[in-house]
């Protein structure tokens, strides 16, 4: 562990007082030039107005803040200073402690990658991502998703964008999110270019893998899931009504859920949804709740989540970004396909949530994520148009399953059998064993078609 201790005060005089209380000589931690000007501040921030002009500070010598690092002190002295500061009035505003767990980032550079961290190439292309998973095997086998339905459970998708990609928009269901009624097919998201919206990112991968699948919009996600309890109950109701209205037993349906719980402090009762297999949404997804049998005839795909220990979503607290404590709720159910993320060249991405799944969700809890798929790639003709997060990886898998379902309908191959085929055919990355980062390995559609044919016969194309 590397311990970095620092002090913060409203101004330099207060800082010097704190140093004196801790028996630290200011000359040991502050340069002489700094000590000579007691009105000086080392706060780097400058206020600007709406036009970008600097705002004149009415009191340049005022309380703008001053901080100093005590990293040069030996470890024993740092601990002693920390203990003294704990008894100091307003210590919560005066002292900070940063523990850098060096072991967490001690993996070799090639073992994980974080966007923007300067560790290897930044982004691959969609072409590279497709080659990684042998996507062309679908087209070669005549599998385009014809007769299959995909439900995109997200913030909303745009009907015109679906059709511009060559996809088939088939409708959806109104859902209330962010305090407003969201109309399916509108895909509105203020201040964000249509092509760069989250739903649009998902559509590009879905349509590329299954161009003839029918795509439905279930826009129930808010901008942020701040109240987990309210959202998950709303999601359960929405999915129940959609399934009751749209999902007949003689058709194949794929539900894409490119979302997950980032911060469990959003639960009024911690674990009520994220670690409770009897929550209404978890029961519904498992096909055990108010709509029995749904899990037997729908392929449910979830993103594993972006709570990986090396470069997690900034909203994720430390408690929720650890191996075995990062894939929550329905994302960890044995009955869903939980997808981790790798780069277009197969390297694991340090943001991808690590298993095993949360305790209490069945005997298969140690096998989440199930496998990984590519993410963090750009479009070949537009480097600024990127797909990222385990959301992008889950969209790749949802599209692939929809294409496969054209040949192996759910009345012939159950969702559990389909998931088993994808797991068993995944390209192994850890001596053939499941691992917490990439699950069973990386999606391989050429091998998946081979295994499905061996186990269930050749595809029956319609």
Percent of the chain exceeding pLDDT 70 equals 68
pLDDT digits (tens, 9 = 90+) for 22-34: 777 877 777 655 5
Q: Quick one: CA torsion of 102, 103, 105, 108, rounded to 10 degrees?
A: 130
pLDDT digits (tens, 9 = 90+) for 300-313: 999 999 988 888 78
Q: Report pLDDT for 292.
A: 54
Are 380 and 350 in contact by the 8 Å Cβ rule? The answer is no
Q: Report pLDDT for 173.
A: 79
- Mean pLDDT over 320-328 rounds to 84
Band of pLDDT at residue 236, cut at 50, 70 and 90: low
- Mean pLDDT over 197-216 rounds to 96
Classify residue 149 by its DSSP letter: E
Instruction: Give pairs for 11-19: CB < 8 Å, separation 24+.
Output: 11/41, 11/62, 11/63, 11/64, 11/65, 11/66, 12/38, 12/39, 12/40, 12/41, 12/66, 13/38, 14/66, 14/94, 15/66, 15/67, 15/68, 18/85, 18/88, 18/94, 18/95, 19/68
Residues in the chain: 462
More confident residue, 41 or 80: 80
pLDDT digits (tens, 9 = 90+) for 383-426: 889 999 999 999 999 999 999 999 999 989 999 999 999 999 99
Closest CA to 205 of 418, 387, 448: 387
Lowest mean pLDDT among 76-90, 123-137, 271-285, 376-390: 76-90
Closest CA to 355 of 347, 364, 346, 343: 364
Band of pLDDT at residue 433, cut at 50, 70 and 90: confident
Q: Report pLDDT for 211.
A: 98
Q: Is the per-residue pLDDT at 206 higher than 90?
A: yes
Task: Provide the 10 A C-beta neighbour count for residue 112.
Answer: 24
- Mean pLDDT over 323-334 rounds to 87
pLDDT averaged over every residue in the chain = 78
Beta bridge pairs of residue 69: 6
Band of pLDDT at residue 2, cut at 50, 70 and 90: very low
More confident residue, 112 or 385: 385
How far apart, in whole angstroms, are the C-alpha atoms of residue 58 and residue 434?
61
| 25 three-class SS | coil
User: Strands, DSSP E only, in 258-376?
Assistant: 298-303, 337-342, 371-374
Beta bridge pairs of residue 349: 113
Highest-confidence segment of 55-59, 288-292, 436-440: 436-440
Residue 124: both structure tokens together:
């691959």
Q: Report pLDDT for 442.
A: 96
Q: Report pLDDT for 108.
A: 47
Lowest mean pLDDT among 9-18, 338-347, 392-401: 9-18
Q: Quick one: CA torsion of 151, 374, 453, 148, rounded to 10 degrees?
A: 20
Q: Report pLDDT for 101.
A: 35
Delimit the CATH 3.40.50.200 region(s) of the chain: 110-456
Q: Report pLDDT for 50.
A: 35
How far apart, in whole angstroms, are the C-alpha atoms of residue 38 and residue 169?
66
Instruction: Classify the C-alpha dihedral 189-144-380-130 as positive or negative.
Output: positive
More confident residue, 134 or 248: 134
pLDDT digits (tens, 9 = 90+) for 267-293: 766 777 788 777 777 777 776 554 555
pLDDT digits (tens, 9 = 90+) for 366-376: 689 999 999 99
Q: Report pLDDT for 343.
A: 92
Q: Report pLDDT for 31.
A: 65
The top-level CATH class assigned to 110-456 is: alpha beta
């Amino acid at each position: 562990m590397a311990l970095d201790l620092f002090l913060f005060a409203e101004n330099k005089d207060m800082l010097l007082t704190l140093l004196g209380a801790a028996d630290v000589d200011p000359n040991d931690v502050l340069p002489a030039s700094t000590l000579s000007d007691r009105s000086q501040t080392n706060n780097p921030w400058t206020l600007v107005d709406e036009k970008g002009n600097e705002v004149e500070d009415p009191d340049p010598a005022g309380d703008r803040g001053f901080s100093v690092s005590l990293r040069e002190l030996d470890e024993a002295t740092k601990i002693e200073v920390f203990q003294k500061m704990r008894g100091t009035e307003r210590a919560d505003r005066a002292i900070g402690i940063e523990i850098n767990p060096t072991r967490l980032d001690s993996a070799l550079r090639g073992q994980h990658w974080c966007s923007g961290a300067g560790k290897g190439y930044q982004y691959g292309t969609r072409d590279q991502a497709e080659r990684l998973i042998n996507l062309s095997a679908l087209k070669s086998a005549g599998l385009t998703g014809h007769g299959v339905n995909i439900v995109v459970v997200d913030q909303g998708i745009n009907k015109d964008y679906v059709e511009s990609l060559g996809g088939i928009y088939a409708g959806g269901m109104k859902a209330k999110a962010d305090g407003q009624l969201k109309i399916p097919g509108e895909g509105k998201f203020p201040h964000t270019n249509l092509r760069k919206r989250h739903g649009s990112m998902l559509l590009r991968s879905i349509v590329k893998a299954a161009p003839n699948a029918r795509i439905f919009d279930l826009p129930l996600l808010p901008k942020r899931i701040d109240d987990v309890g309210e959202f998950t109950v709303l999601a359960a109701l929405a999915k129940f009504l959609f399934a009751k209205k749209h999902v007949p037993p003689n058709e194949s349906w794929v539900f894409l859920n490119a979302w997950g719980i980032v911060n469990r402090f959003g639960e009024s009762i911690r674990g009520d949804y994220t670690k409770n297999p009897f929550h209404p949404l978890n029961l519904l997804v498992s096909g055990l709740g108010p709509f029995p049998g749904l899990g037997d005839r729908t392929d449910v795909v979830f993103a594993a989540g972006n709570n990986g220990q090396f470069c997690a979503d900034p909203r994720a607290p430390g408690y929720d970004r650890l191996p075995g404590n990062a894939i929550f709720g329905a994302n960890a159910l044995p009955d869903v396909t939980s997808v981790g993320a790798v780069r277009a060249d197969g390297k694991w991405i340090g943001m991808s949530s690590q298993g095993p799944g949360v305790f209490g969700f069945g005997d298969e809890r140690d096998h989440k994520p199930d496998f990984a798929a590519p993410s963090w790639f750009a479009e070949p003709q537009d480097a600024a148009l990127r797909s990222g997060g385990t959301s992008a990886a889950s969209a790749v898998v949802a599209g692939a399953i929809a294409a496969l379902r054209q040949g192996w309908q759910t009345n012939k191959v159950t969702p559990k059998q389909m998931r088993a085929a994808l797991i068993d055919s995944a390209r192994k990355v850890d001596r053939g064993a499941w691992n917490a980062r990439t699950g069973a390995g990386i999606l391989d559609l050429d091998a998946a078609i081979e295994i499905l044919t061996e186990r269930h016969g050749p595809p029956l194309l319609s």
